[in-house]
């Protein structure tokens, strides 16, 4: 079997809808925003529980004398035929999820009527996806956390079970193996690559003990023991 990253590299850009899921800090967003881009670029958004469909669809912005319609990230990618990256898609609330259903419909019959006055006779503008439009979504959980209708719109779901090689390359060599193992640990030992990056930076200015305590608190000593031996953290 090929690695998850090789599979992602083969699928992103070739499949119209790809979901990358796995532990945080492994490089999912990096792959989603850089792998196999077409000439129409990438639009990206990160969802929270407070996100609204307007962020993807569009909204009016005040100008000097009037309000002007501003396309959201989703419609902007739709019209350009580019890539839309939706991070933390499992945080999609009701209206966001409903809008994503329409955005992810098969392009042969997909269309959206926007709540603006840019259409015929001042009606809402009707937009359709341009050739080349595709979506890459990321999440830290598993696909069964999505509502079934949304999950079904991603025929390609790739479990990211290792840290992206480029994420490890920025760490000092003595940290890479342990950091890579603990970043995808399935228990309380899991530590993000971001924490290792901070530790690596802080230990250059302070000693390793101080840096470990600052980053991992009471677990700092255990992290140093694991780093200086071949044993796992218990």
Residues 6+ apart with CB under 8 A from 3: 162
Q: Which helix (H) or strand (E) holds 158?
A: strand 156-159
Full set of structural domains in the chain with CATH: 4-159 (3.40.50.300), 165-227 (no CATH)
192 contacts 183 by C-beta, under 8 angstroms: yes
pLDDT at 231: 46
Rounded CA separation 153/136 (Å): 11
The distance from CA 133 to its chain's CA centroid, rounded to whole angstroms, is 17
pLDDT for 121 equals 61
What are the tens digits of pLDDT across the range 30-41? Answer: 999 999 989 999
pTM assigned to the model? 0.85
Short-list 180, 182, 87, CA closest to 138 = 87
The segments of the chain whose pLDDT lies below 50 read 231-232, 234
Partners of 157 in beta bridges: 19
Q: How far is the C-alpha of 27 from the C-alpha of 35, rounded, in Å?
A: 12
Alpha helices in the chain (DSSP H): 4-11, 28-34, 54-57, 73-80, 94-103, 148-152, 165-169, 173-183, 193-205, 208-216, 220-227
SS3 of 217, please? helix
pLDDT tens, 93-145? 889 999 999 999 988 888 888 888 765 666 788 889 999 999 999 999 899 99
Cβ distance 140 to 24 under 8 Å?
yes
């Amino acid at each position: 079997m090929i690695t998850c990253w090789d599979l992602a590299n083969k699928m992103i850009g070739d499949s119209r809808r790809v979901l990358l899921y796995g532990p945080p800090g492994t490089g999912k967003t990096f792959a989603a925003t850089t792998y196999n881009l077409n000439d129409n670029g990438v639009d990206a958004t990160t969802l929270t529980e407070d996100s609204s469909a307007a962020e993807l669809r569009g909204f009016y912005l005040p100008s000097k004398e009037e309000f002007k319609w501003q396309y959201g990230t989703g419609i902007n990618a739709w019209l350009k035929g580019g890539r839309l990256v939706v991070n933390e898609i499992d945080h999609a609330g009701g209206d966001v999820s409903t809008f994503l259903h329409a955005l992810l419909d098969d392009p042969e019959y997909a269309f959206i009527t926007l709540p603006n006055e840019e259409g015929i006779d001042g009606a809402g503008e009707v937009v359709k996806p341009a050739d080349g439009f595709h979506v890459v979504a990321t999440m830290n959980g598993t696909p069964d956390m999505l509502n079934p209708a949304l999950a079904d719109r991603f025929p390609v779901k790739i479990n990211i079970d290792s840290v992206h090689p480029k994420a490890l390359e920025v760490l000092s060599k003595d940290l890479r193996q342990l950091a890579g193992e603990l970043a995808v640990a399935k228990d309380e030992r899991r530590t993000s690559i971001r924490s290792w990056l901070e530790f690596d930076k802080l230990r250059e200015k302070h000693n390793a003990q101080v840096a470990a305590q600052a980053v991992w608190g009471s677990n700092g000593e255990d992290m140093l023991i694991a780093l200086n031996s071949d044993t796992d953290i218990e």
